[in-house]
Amino acid sequence: MSLSSDPDPSTAGDTALLDRETFTRAPDEKVNWVTSIPFLAFHVIAFVGPFISGVTMKSFLLFLVMVFGRLWFITAGYHRYFAHRSYRTSRAFQLVLALGGVSCVQKGPLWWAGHHRNHHRYSDTELDVHSPKRGFWWSHVGWILCDKFADAPTERIRDFAKYPELRFIEKYNGVFPWLTGLACFLIAGWSGLFVGFFLSTVVLWHDTFLVNSLAHVMGRRRYATTDTSRNSVLIAVATLGEGWHNNHHHHQASARNGFFWWELDMTFYVLKVLSWMHIVHDLKVPSAELLAAQREQKSTSV
């Protein structure tokens, strides 16, 4: 892998990430178009299917629940719990979080959280699996379709790999989504399957992927982190609070990504309610010192 830098450092003022520094990808970091056929076919079914089945009120409501309900399991479960351990819960609810996450067709919790830990460990260096410095589409989806990152980095997620029920879910992660699809079919028929499952899953995928791609390119930087993470209200609304990504890179152990009351963070609000119900506990939040530390001299935006 080689590094090429913008020869003019004056353009490096947080305005256009991709103009100033890029990494080239290694030969083994290429999309495998053959093994990616199911992923591509999923998109075709998601966009053609609803024209065949039609969209009913029931399937539309199911679509909303399946996008935002499942997204919460990615943000609160796969991300803030399994990747960052930003709160604690029982082993039973840990299992619920894993089952909700695996229904999202984003592989198992060990794969997801393990690679995400590597993202934080190597943010925007040549070892970052999905830095936009390797190309915007690579950071969005290319890295997922590459053989090199197909397996879970188990050495990075040993703390959860010790649970047999999580290893079981990881091993059979390809089965659970079809059970979800079957449930959608039983609830709302063919429209439920195409709109409630296939279309909602594709929307959910790209909504999740935005955090890896756009949240490192678009928005403002409050904290002078060593990576390119940014805060964006638009991405925060679309991703239940994950768009406060510069906040998150500043204090990744926090269960709350919207650091101030005006920074909408639906994931955290639900976690807070669950804590009142004693389902989760020990929600970590940043101290006053952390909130004030490492501020950018001047907030920058694109």
Q: State the nearest-atom distance from the C-beta of 79 to Zn ion, in Å.
A: 6
Q: How many residues form the binding site for Zn ion (CB under 5 A)?
A: 1
C-alpha span between 122 and 8 (Å, rounded): 25
Q: State the nearest-atom distance from the C-beta of 253 to Zn ion, in Å.
A: 10
**Scanning residues 223 to 262, which ones bind Zn ion (CB under 5 A)?**
229
Q: State the nearest-atom distance from the C-beta of 111 to Zn ion, in Å.
A: 15
Of residues 106 and 229, the one with the C-beta less far from Zn ion: 229
Query: Which residues lie across from 88 on neighbouring strands?
Result: 281
Q: State the nearest-atom distance from the C-beta of 172 to Zn ion, in Å.
A: 26
**Scanning residues 51 to 80, which ones bind Zn ion (CB under 5 A)?**
none
C-alpha span between 271 and 62 (Å, rounded): 23
Of residues 22 and 229, the one with the C-beta less far from Zn ion: 229
In angstroms, how far is CA 253 from the centroid of its own chain?
16
Of residues 62 and 116, the one with the C-beta less far from Zn ion: 116
Which residue bears the tokens 């083994």? 28
Which two tokens mark 31? 């999309």
Beta strand pairing call for 88-89 and 3-5: unpaired
For residue 114, is it left (φ>0), alpha (ψ between -120 and 50) or beta?
Answer: alpha
**Scanning residues 106 to 165, which ones bind Zn ion (CB under 5 A)?**
none
Of residues 14 and 43, the one with the C-beta less far from Zn ion: 14
Residue with nearest beta carbon to Zn ion: 229
Of residues 229 and 232, the one with the C-beta less far from Zn ion: 229
Q: State the nearest-atom distance from the C-beta of 45 to Zn ion, in Å.
A: 30
Q: Indicate the SS3 state at residue 223.
A: strand
Q: State the nearest-atom distance from the C-beta of 246 to Zn ion, in Å.
A: 9
Side-chain half-sphere exposure of 105, counting CA atoms within 13 A: 21
C-alpha span between 230 and 302 (Å, rounded): 10
**Scanning residues 190 to 229, which ones bind Zn ion (CB under 5 A)?**
229
Of residues 25 and 116, the one with the C-beta less far from Zn ion: 116
Binding site for Zn ion (CB under 5 A): 229
